[in-house]
Structure 1
């Protein structure tokens, strides 16, 4: 917004590039990638406990962890944008489908939502509500706002205030969706898994101890059952 509304000042273009939520390899992109990676780690922790318990939905948690790992890599490298040019040529797309990656990805999202419907309904009510809210925010931002953004890009171009506003809303919804999802996962771990403990062991060069001396982060809560991740 400073490029459009503020007079020139030192490092204006650099700061605009560094904090542009629609940019690549900058601060918002790194933040989003790390948030998605943290979600993948939390899902992996839950999947580990579910695997130990031979839970019916253990594979669902594992697959979710891998999906969010891919999303983290995608956010870092903008992998989905590689679909745009070939799909645009194939579909001769303009208007709301100008960013044509939403066509194949939208199809995959529909399959995913259908295949995970039973998994969703088995979750506790509070977790279920947060998962639904997070999904609506993230997909609503990533795909819902991408369509008006595509329309603006194909008709008026991307160098205007309207497009900046739409992309800012889009990326903000995605970020908010991940925040809600992380909250849902931590709440689920705290209440239904029994907390999680991450331990770090760094041996000294001439250490003589035989037992590991751990620097531990306390569990998120008192254990709700006998499963305590380490």
Structure 2
């Protein structure tokens, strides 16, 4: 039984890239306005509503929707694979739940609850200032090992896109969090270098 949802991947990708680019540019410009422009009406509000490193604003809402949409698409694929009794149907289901969690985490910053306990446990500072990356990095390693066969069973074009997307997302979420944590602990979040790193991280 065939189950299909017609989408134009190229058009969707271009649209989402434009949205991400606009949000990143608006965030950077509004943050720089706090440092280099004189006071203007609603300056603080505008800077906060577009800040990719802040919560409960436009970039957060976009990220929540993008991750939730990914979860729904993965769920649709899991449903189709289940109908065909595919060998990797459960892998697709787990991916759908992972992206559902990521969307909820983006909305509620659930991972931040790990920071203080892990910081106390590890007595961490500098690059490991945002200590949530330790347990989540461990989980990512387990995920990569358990999904290696799944990735290699995918068609070549799809496999390349999966690996590329995963590298961008993990590189941003964990990789860029290391220099971000160092700058946060040494210069604070109200510094131009930290704003640059945070913008790159959230854009990825």
When normalised by structure 1's length, the TM-score is 0.75
Unaligned runs of 5+ residues in structure 2 are: 1-31
Residue in 2 that maps onto 1:107:
138
Partners in 2 of 1:105 and 1:165 — Cα distance?
24
Tell me whether 1:40 sits opposite 2:100 in the alignment: no
SS at match of 1:44: helix
CA deviations 1:60-112 (Å, max 9, x no partner) are 00000000000000000000011001100111100100000000000000000
- State the shift of 1:165 in Å: 0.5
How do residues 51-66 of structure 1 correspond to structure 2 at under 5 angstroms? 51-66=82-97
Residue in 2 that maps onto 1:24:
55
Partners in 2 of 1:51 and 1:37 — Cα distance?
21
Partners in 2 of 1:8 and 1:129 — Cα distance?
47
How do residues 50-199 of structure 1 correspond to structure 2 at under 5 angstroms? 50-173=81-204
- State the shift of 1:4 in Å: 1.1
- State the shift of 1:2 in Å: 1.3
- State the shift of 1:6 in Å: 1.7
Residue in 2 that maps onto 1:188:
none
- State the shift of 1:5 in Å: 1.9
- State the shift of 1:127 in Å: 0.3
Matched pairs, number: 173
Over alpha carbons, which structure has the higher Rg?
1
Partners in 2 of 1:120 and 1:19 — Cα distance?
36
Moved >3 Å (runs of 4+): none
SS at match of 1:43: helix
More helix by share: 2
- State the shift of 1:159 in Å: 1.1
- State the shift of 1:7 in Å: 1.7
RMSD (Å), alpha carbons: 0.5
